[in-house]
Chains A and B, each alone.
Chain A
Amino acid sequence: MVTRALPLPHVRSRARQILPGFGLSLGYTVFYLSFIVLIPLAALVVKASGLAPLEFWTLATSPRVLSGLRVSFSSALVASMLNIPIGLLIAWVLVRYEFPGKRLIDALIDLPFALPTAVAGITLTTLFAKTGWVGNLLEPLGIRVAYTQLGIVLALVFIGLPFAVRSVQPVLEGLGTEVEEAALSLGASWGQTFSRVILPQLLPAILAGFTLAFARTVGEYGSVIFISGNLPFKTEIAPLLIVAQLESYNYAGAAAIAVLMLGLSLILLVLANLAQARASKVVGE
């Protein structure tokens, strides 16, 4: 059985010399990243710089844009947080338990990817509008999902779910049960074992899932516009404002809002990845 030894301090400093492929993988990664992502994104930044700094600032701080950014970022944040426990729960159940229909559920997890986002938006609205199967159950309780920010969060939970599950699942799968068994046999309760032995090892994966779900959902357009109602200052998302700019052939304005979103996302991603790096250090790789 695999025993995960804690790394000895000197291993780290030796690593670069021992393992091969640093130059090759660095070179290829940077090349591919530049070609597919960075150069095209640079074109976007160049386009946005077609606006004078003052114009950019006026656009970026206009109440409409600020409100759109607030709706997009807060919805994505809430949805990704909701997805942490839901994703962990589903991954746990799928890896650790046997029950009828398990394989089918495992297969279903990726559904939100494969369904075109517009179909997802239409389908969720069908279900959660007051005429829908779920919506007419919630309506008497006074809960309105469709055409409110709750609807946006719901769509984003749907879109982000596979990330939350699939990030944790392989790590959980590779995580033997030996350490837990040891903990249990030493007299720890199940709750203690979970929170002190299992959870810390899953933490980097959980954070990765959160980060991915957040990144993916913050710019989501197709599924959201059907369920959000798109009311300015209430449920209007930032990507819709980008589309509105494009409709008036204002490429620079569209690029400016996009760059703004991108900058904010990048800051959040760096923060999340730093947290993740710290978490994996705690786990001891």
Chain B
Amino acid sequence: MKFLPTLVITSLAAVITSSALTQSNTVTLLNVSYDPTRELYQAINPAFSKTYAAKTGKTVTINQSHGGSGAQARAVIDGLEADVVTLALAWDIDAIADKGLLGKDWQYLLGNNSSPYTSTIVFLVRKGNPKGIKDWDDLVKPGVQVITPNPKTSGGARWNFLAAWGHALKKTGSEAGAKAFVGKLYQNVPVLDSGARGSTTTFVERGIGDVLLAWENEAILAIREQKDKFEIVAPPTSILAEPPVAVVEKNAAKHGTTEVAKAYLQFLYTPEGQEIIAKNYYRPRNPSVAKKYAAQFPKLKFFTLRSTFGNWRDTQKKFFTDNGVFDQIYQPR
């Protein structure tokens, strides 16, 4: 009976990861971000390292962490030592600021509400647009199936919700009208995935639904890959989504990385950074870069969160907390 020792040895045949050796001339940053920005920061990071090395002679290694925006913010609150956060909604960074990890004035520290790029919500429909979807109003027609994730579990889905709400508010002129409209829209949702990626899969791979509410950059990517199957419909108006970035001051101070963390975020605003942003189908803030890449983005009118809803904190509370507007839409049957 030598089988216990054999098992022990088998299970002990393991690799223990060794911690990286830190050298004085290298700096490590941790950027905690949300899901769709992976390709963007994969392109940004080496470009920044190169620029920074040329300027200071220091080598920067940037570690990336991606996940749902809310879950990522929670990880930072609970002790994930991010030097910078680049998330989907200002509310998530507010929540980190509430715990004292950075100043509550974070949104004024960098330009454009600390949001170096924007995006919006557009429609992805099947080739030829068989249901003739042109505007938000078409989404509430009977027989149209809309795919969007659950705004309570997905940051991106909150932008979807608010975009529809903003349209309805303008059209009906009343909160009650907007609520009725959005309620009707969610009646048309056959599958409420927990995240944006799940919704894309439901629409693209499973063939369910007539229209997917999607981030503009994701929709453009989907079109690039499967031109013959889908097309983008830009509604006449949509929301200007402003994904924010910030230095997590307390962590950066602890790591001695405040300077490089600031430089990293500022790099996003430089023409070079803005070019990379545009190439990844986010809308750049820099006017001349925006002009250069204007052709790749659909033309539509924007309304901002601030103009229609006020700030994120109140918006979150009103719409997405327990028994908020979104919960009221769904009633037991």
Q: Which residues of A contact B (CB under 8 A)?
A: 59, 62-64, 67, 122, 125-126, 129-131, 146-147, 225-226, 229-233, 236, 240, 243-250, 253
A129 touches B74 (CB 8 A): no
B320 touches A225 (CB 8 A): no
A129 touches B206 (CB 8 A): yes
Chain B residues with Cβ below 8 Å from A131 are: 205-207
* CB of B333 closer than 8 Å to a CB of A: yes
Q: A130-B206, A240-B150, A247-B71 are in contact. List 9 more A-B contacts (CB 8 A).
A: A122-B201, A129-B207, A225-B193, A225-B194, A226-B201, A229-B192, A243-B153, A248-B316, A248-B321
- Given A229-B190, A232-B330 in contact, is the A246-B74 Cβ separation under 8 Å? yes
A59 touches B206 (CB 8 A): no
Interchain nearest-CB distance for B157 vs A (Å): 10
* CB of B138 closer than 8 Å to a CB of A: no
Instruction: Kindly supply a per-residue 1/0 record for chain B positions 191-203, scoring 1 wherever the CB is within 8 Å of any chain A CB and 0 otherwise.
Output: 1111000100100
Chain B residue nearest to A248 (CB atoms) is B321
Chain B, range 45-79, C-beta contacts under 8 Å to A: 68, 70-71, 74, 77
Interchain nearest-CB distance for B325 vs A (Å): 13
* CB of B95 closer than 8 Å to a CB of A: yes
Q: How far is the CA of A276 from the CA of B77 in the complex (A)?
A: 44
Chain A residue nearest to B193 (CB atoms) is A230
B192 touches A230 (CB 8 A): yes
- Given A59-B322, A126-B205, A240-B194 in contact, is the A247-B330 Cβ separation under 8 Å? no
Q: How far is the CA of A242 from the CA of B191 in the complex (A)?
A: 19
Chain B residue nearest to A228 (CB atoms) is B191
* CB of B152 closer than 8 Å to a CB of A: yes
Chain B residues with Cβ below 8 Å from A226 are: 193, 198, 201
Q: Which residues of B contact A (CB under 8 A)?
A: 68, 70-71, 74, 77, 95, 150, 152-153, 189-194, 198, 201, 205-208, 316, 320-323, 327, 330-333
Q: How far is the CA of A159 from the CA of B201 in the complex (A)?
A: 22
Complex partner residue of A246 from B71, B190, B201, B333, CB under 8 angstroms: B71
B70 touches A247 (CB 8 A): yes
Chain B residue nearest to A253 (CB atoms) is B322
Chain A residue nearest to B207 (CB atoms) is A131
Interchain nearest-CB distance for A136 vs B (Å): 11
Chain A residues with Cβ below 8 Å from B322 are: 59, 62, 245, 248, 250, 253
Q: How far is the CA of A236 from the CA of B191 in the complex (A)?
A: 10
17 pairs of residues in contact across A and B, judged by CB atoms under 8 Å: A129-B205, A147-B208, A225-B193, A225-B194, A226-B201, A230-B150, A230-B192, A232-B330, A233-B330, A233-B331, A236-B192, A244-B152, A244-B153, A245-B322, A247-B68, A247-B153, A248-B320
A232 touches B206 (CB 8 A): no
Interchain nearest-CB distance for A102 vs B (Å): 22
What are the 4 A-B residue pairs with the smallest beta carbon separation, nearest first?
Answer: A244-B152, A232-B330, A247-B70, A129-B206
Q: How far is the CA of A247 from the CA of B331 in the complex (A)?
A: 21
Chain A residues with Cβ below 8 Å from B316 are: 248
Q: How far is the CA of A67 from the CA of B330 in the complex (A)?
A: 12
B194 touches A233 (CB 8 A): no
Interchain nearest-CB distance for A133 vs B (Å): 13
Q: How far is the CA of A130 from the CA of B327 in the complex (A)?
A: 30
B190 touches A225 (CB 8 A): no
B198 touches A247 (CB 8 A): no
Interchain nearest-CB distance for B148 vs A (Å): 11
Chain A residues with Cβ below 8 Å from B323 are: 62
B191 touches A231 (CB 8 A): yes
Interchain nearest-CB distance for B87 vs A (Å): 13
A67 touches B70 (CB 8 A): no
A244 touches B150 (CB 8 A): yes
Q: How far is the CA of A202 from the CA of B295 in the complex (A)?
A: 70
Chain B residues with Cβ below 8 Å from A130 are: 206-208
Complex partner residue of A249 from B68, B95, B333, CB under 8 angstroms: B95
A249 touches B153 (CB 8 A): no
Chain A residue nearest to B317 (CB atoms) is A248
Chain A residues with Cβ below 8 Å from B191 are: 147, 229-231
Q: Choose among B68, B153, B189, B327 the residue with the greatest number of A CB atoms under 10 Å from its CB.
A: B153
Q: How far is the CA of A243 from the CA of B153 in the complex (A)?
A: 7
A250 touches B321 (CB 8 A): yes
Q: How far is the CA of A125 from the CA of B207 in the complex (A)?
A: 12
- Given A225-B198, A230-B193, A231-B191 in contact, is the A248-B71 Cβ separation under 8 Å? no
Chain B residues with Cβ below 8 Å from A249 are: 70, 74, 77, 95
Chain A residues with Cβ below 8 Å from B71 are: 246-247
Chain B residues with Cβ below 8 Å from A64 are: 327, 330, 332
Chain A residues with Cβ below 8 Å from B152 are: 244, 247-248
Chain A residues with Cβ below 8 Å from B194 are: 225, 230, 240, 243
Interchain nearest-CB distance for A231 vs B (Å): 6
Chain B residues with Cβ below 8 Å from A62 are: 322-323
Chain B residues with Cβ below 8 Å from A59 are: 322
A231 touches B192 (CB 8 A): yes
- Given A244-B153, A248-B316, A250-B322 in contact, is the A67-B332 Cβ separation under 8 Å? yes
B70 touches A246 (CB 8 A): yes
Chain B residues with Cβ below 8 Å from A67 are: 332
- Given A225-B193, A229-B192, A240-B153 in contact, is the A129-B208 Cβ separation under 8 Å? yes
- Given A225-B198, A230-B150, A246-B74 in contact, is the A146-B206 Cβ separation under 8 Å? yes
